[in-house]
Amino acid sequence: MLEQTFSAEEWVAKVEGVERAGDFLTAYDLANRGLEAHPDHLGLRYLAVRTLARSGATEQARARFDEYGLAGRPEVDISALGARLEKDYALEAEGAERASRAVITAGLYEVVFDRTGDYYPGVNAATMWLLAGKPARATDLARRVLDALSRTSLADPGKAYYRAATEAEAALLLDDLDNAGAALERAAAAHGGDYAALATTRRQLRLICAERAIDPAILAPLTPPRVITFLGHMISAPGAPGRFPAESEHPVAQRIAAHLDEGSVGFGYGSLACGADILFAETLLSSSAELHVVLPFDKDEFKRISVKPGGPGWSRRFDDCLAKATSITYATEDSYMGDDLLFTYAARLAMGLALLRATFLDAEVEQAAVWDGKEAGGEGGTATDVAFWRSIGMRSHVIDVAAPTAAAVRAVRRTVRQPVASPGFSEHERAIRAMLFSDFKGFSKLREPQLPVFHKEVMGSLGAVLDRYGSDVLYRNTWGDGLFVVASDAPVAAQLALDLQAAMGVIDLKALGLPAHLALRVGAHVGPVFEGYDYVVKDSGYFGSHVTRTARLEPATPEGNVYVTEPFAAGLALDGDASLTCEYVGHMPAAKGYGLMRMYVLKRRRR
């Protein structure tokens, strides 16, 4: 059926199905596509806001809530969603501000409860009163919620999870651990794969456990399936030497299946080379888990380099897995050119995407690797990826293969991933770098006398910010109002981009005789780029398709904001800097017909 013929109800069902799996970003995109066909549909508007809120994009959700005219609506779900957005702001605050915001949020929820008698806003109000420092009011309201539940019909099986979760929350508020535990067991049996609901409930109940000094282990029944990022050695062709010999395929496959089953894995992110990757993918698919494939470059070139060397049958298995994958991401549109850095980039992207998904699901995340324990034969490889994952404090599980002989290692280094000739680039190397492009909305309307002031005062202020970053800024260039910066990594680029916006925010444009509408917009991306000699400027420079991709972001960025790509957001997830947040804004059209890209707005957290 063509999308144009979908009814609003069919779009709602599609959104809710994806949302239940905890893929809030895709669910939001689907809601927007549904709204293109049915712009006034209340249910789709509600779902668009809810999926944004569940992804952590609180400010974007608040903006959509207001834009869609949802404030003041009488429906229980919509009224409670407005209170939930206020709750998110309260939980981002600290100290007295958090308590005061919790009072406001509790009041909003309680008004809905008093008007409707619905237990969902009632129990949320009770929890927020606890966070506001009003435990007596919290327990009183929790008893009223349990009374409301006792008078609620049990006929709707679709409400079984929410009834049980609400009973558990109310019981925890009353320090009734026996009834809380029993209710949690009922909730675990009734969620029906709604991992979004599980994540929301777990986060809510952990707040109560922290306030009541209750061991959060009581929440174990609501543990969601684990997220993994998988990788490992390519398999050797039958009869050929290698680090993963063909005769080891069956025992390795059995160990992969046993580990994934034991760990209750529901979501996997990785590539699809012959050997370990495809064995992980097939096991995930056979257990009805989600498979998310990240390929380093063009599919056909990848098959030639990383699939066909395994021998007969692997290409068919690759095609089967790719056809059944939940999502396929191409880390780059570049050619391989014998550069293993692209494999490293794809592996890091898969790791970051796994971390983002685990955050949405409130789930555990783990690396699973088929590895012989030996060091890498080149700059990248399984050993390098395992070491990186462990270096950021994450857990990895290694499935061993028989150690090869020294001669076999030398043989596989000679035969796997043969470089592709690339005349003209022998003096250039690719490196993974973070890049910023920025310009000013309104610059083209400046009058001639204003231009020297702009360059001295405005661009001078931005230059001073760049100076503070010293050697972490690898390259800077400007033309007119444009600024191109290459930084050492995504965390540095993120802080730099926000500092540039902050510097712009304190400039008194009126005092300088410049128009108030002059505003900075910044786009950021991370990817492999060429580092080499620029024959025009006679100095080092950076170029490649990922430089072009970054340049296409900035014109689509609203003024005063920093928009970043999904690889950039994934890189920040790997860094683990809790002071920064990337709020999803959807698929955005890049400039000059470059296509749609998943975009996030970069911000500093309130705490």
Residue 551 CB partners (closer than 8 Å, separation 6+): 437, 484, 523, 591
- Model confidence, pTM: 0.86
Over residues 67-98, the pLDDT tens digits come to 999 999 999 999 999 999 999 999 988 889 99
Please provide the DSSP assignment of 176-207 as one string: -HHHHHHHHHHHHHH-TT-HHHHHHHHHHHHH
> Considering only CA atoms, which of 323, 344, 354 is closest in space to residue 386?
344
Tell me how far apart the 2 most distant CA atoms of the chain are, in Å. Answer: 79
Over residues 393-444, the pLDDT tens digits come to 999 999 998 644 443 333 333 333 333 333 333 345 789 999 999 999 889 8
Query: Could you tell me where the DSSP H helices lie in 21-134?
Result: 24-37, 42-55, 58-67, 76-92, 95-116, 119-131
Task: Check pLDDT > 70 for residue 530.
Answer: yes
Would you list the domain boundaries of the chain?
3-222, 226-415, 429-604
Please provide the DSSP assignment of 446-485 as one string: --TTHHHHIIIIIHHHHHHHHHHTGGGEEEEEEETTEEEE
Q: Which CATH number fits domain 3-222: 3.30.1360.120, 1.25.40.10, 3.40.1080.10, 1.10.10.10?
A: 1.25.40.10
Specify whether the CB–CB gap between 451 and 567 falls below 8 A: no
Mean pLDDT of 104-109: 96
The two tokens of residue 161 are: 């999870």
Mean pLDDT in the chain?
A: 89
| Residue 478: other Cβ atoms inside 10 A | 15
Specify whether the CB–CB gap between 123 and 142 falls below 8 A: yes
| Residue 105: other Cβ atoms inside 10 A | 26
H helix or E strand, kind and range, residue 316 = helix 314-324
For tokens 């079984």, name the residue: 160
Assign residue 117 a region (left: φ > 0; alpha: ψ between -120 and 50; beta: otherwise).
left
Specify whether the CB–CB gap between 466 and 562 falls below 8 A: no
The two tokens of residue 550 are: 């970054």
Mean pLDDT of 462-479: 95
What is the structure's pLDDT at 495?
96
The two tokens of residue 236 are: 């050797």
Please provide the DSSP assignment of 510-538 as one string: TTTT--TT-EEEEEEEEEEEEEEEETTTT
What is the structure's pLDDT at 379?
62
Q: What percent of the chain has pLDDT over 70?
A: 91
Least confident window among 468-477, 498-507, 519-528, 547-556? 547-556
CATH number belonging to domain 226-415: 3.40.50.450
Over residues 539-567, the pLDDT tens digits come to 888 998 899 888 888 777 888 889 999 99
> Considering only CA atoms, which of 314, 271, 274, 273 is closest in space to residue 293?
271
Q: Which residue has the higher pLDDT, 292 or 517?
A: 292
Specify whether the CB–CB gap between 588 and 554 falls below 8 A: no
What is the structure's pLDDT at 285?
98
Long-range contacts of 362-365 (CB under 8 A, 24+ apart): 362/198, 362/199, 362/202, 362/203, 362/224, 363/22, 363/195, 363/199, 363/223, 363/224, 363/225, 363/226, 363/227, 363/266, 363/267, 364/223, 364/226, 364/227, 365/226, 365/227, 365/228, 365/229, 365/394
| Residue 586 pLDDT grade (very low, low, confident, very high; cuts 50, 70, 90) | confident
Task: Check pLDDT > 80 for residue 593.
Answer: no
- Torsions phi, psi of 367, nearest 5? -95, 135
- Counts for the chain of helices (H) and strands (E), in that order: 23, 14
**CA–CA separation, 64 and 151 (whole Å):** 35
Task: Check pLDDT > 80 for residue 145.
Answer: yes
Least confident window among 117-131, 357-371, 593-607? 593-607
Mean pLDDT of 503-511: 94
The class of domain 429-604 in CATH terms is alpha beta
Dihedral angle, C-alpha 407, 409, 415, 417, nearest 10 °? -170
Please provide the DSSP assignment of 410-427 as one string: HHHHHHSSPPPP-TT-TT
Q: Is the dihedral of CA 424, 426, 427, 429 positive or negative?
A: positive
Task: Check pLDDT > 70 for residue 526.
Answer: yes
What is the structure's pLDDT at 554?
73
Using the CB atoms, write b or e for 537-575: b if 16+ within 10 Å.
eeeebbebebbebbbbbbbbbebebbbbbbbbbbbbbbb
